[in-house]
Structure 1
């Protein structure tokens, strides 16, 4: 059983439990930005399968799962087996590009994660990204220790804006949703976190502030934030 993340202090012989908060991170656009690899992998797949990519498809597909992108955005097929085949091929192409070219974290991410780790704030990935994509990137970065819990597309049946992925992340952290802050870069993810009853901090990596107004706070990069700011979300000045 996973450990419960909380602080304990002794007070005149009694143990007083002080619940902390949890940090849930979307992956692409928050920890890394591999959008160019995703776009190239769709282009390679389209060429390989002799398919057309509709104008503006990439923006329309942003934050959505392949099972929705392929039939609804690309209009390639409605057949479940073909959707899965296209999806598997696309993700293999994506990982090949990432391994060949490497991947870097977004500016400010590493010091921010180190700050959370130092302050014993539990962290979790909650993303519609396939698990192997995240595991591959973490391996390339050498960051396996930052995220002991990873919730991915394989763990949920509904994509964002449904809050399922974030609610499961909170459950795995053993925290109620209102004790979690979600870090997102896309409107659909903000909608999901809001539907889950969580605090939301948006990062302007992939979208301008004008498209992220439903978040509780908007920042340019994660290391603009302090522990005091995060605790203030939960009325905890400790």
Structure 2
């Protein structure tokens, strides 16, 4: 059992609380084919990144806005297959006064559609793609969420599923708990603790209790 003390918990959404993998994969591949981009190559580094940041790696600057809008349109055209990840709703309900926020690479419209489809509640503090100048792996989103909750980033635990998000959280100074819901544990080694999913995480007074981590990790605030 590992104890992660914290004053607040900051959650990524896609791949951490909500599983919209079938939708994202379909939309990304449809979009890539329309723009003459290899779908496998595009999707290989897309997870956990803002759409505009990933698109900018493939298209000239003057085409990014329209191409991003097209991919957003594809992703917003469906909501089928979107579900809450195991125990995500249970964990959020059990926080019992522990402040929390979400920090996502989605825009607000996508976030609302996906969380509503999955039955995942949203907290008062929500940081979406349009609220930051720099997306993950830049720490701006997590720094903003901590500031709006009134806590130091170093007093937060960030729950993430993707390498870009883990790097963002670490750069913000937070402790990082990673779940292997979208990436293998071998890709999440920068996290402090890695678990298969949120069924291994319980809210307790003063922080989170983590059972049976798949990676030993060394939380910076102790065990």
TM-score category, normalised to shorter length: 0.7 to 0.9
Q: 1:172 to 1:59 in 2, by over 3 A?
A: same
**1:100-128 per-position Cα deviation (integer Å, ceiling 9, x unaligned):** x1521001111111111xx2111111111
Query: Structure 2: where are the runs of 5+ without partners?
Result: 1-5, 210-218
Shift of 1:61: 2.1
Q: Which has the higher helix share?
A: 1
For 2:114, the equivalent position in structure 1 comes to 137
For 2:65, the equivalent position in structure 1 comes to 84
Alpha-carbon distance between aligned partners in 2 of 1:66 and 1:50, rounded to the nearest angstrom? 15
Whether 1:127 and 2:104 are equivalent positions in the alignment is yes
For 1:95, the equivalent position in structure 2 comes to 76
Whether 1:113 and 2:120 are equivalent positions in the alignment is no
For 1:97, what is the secondary structure of its paired residue?
A: coil
Q: TM-score, normalised by structure 2?
A: 0.84
For residues 14-163 of structure 1, the aligned pairs below 5 Å read 21-47=7-33, 49=34, 51-53=36-38, 55-72=40-57, 75=58, 77-80=59-62, 82-98=63-79, 101-116=80-95, 119-144=96-121, 146-163=122-139
For 2:182, the equivalent position in structure 1 comes to 206
Contact 1:179 1:234 in 2 (8 A): no
Q: 1:231 to 1:96 in 2, by over 3 A?
A: closer
Aligned length: 209
Whether 1:195 and 2:176 are equivalent positions in the alignment is no
Shift of 1:202: 0.2
Alpha-carbon distance between aligned partners in 1 of 2:28 and 2:39, rounded to the nearest angstrom? 11
Equivalent of 2:144, from 145, 168, 184?
168
Query: Structure 1: where are the runs of 5+ without partners?
Result: 1-19
Q: TM-score, normalised by structure 1?
A: 0.79
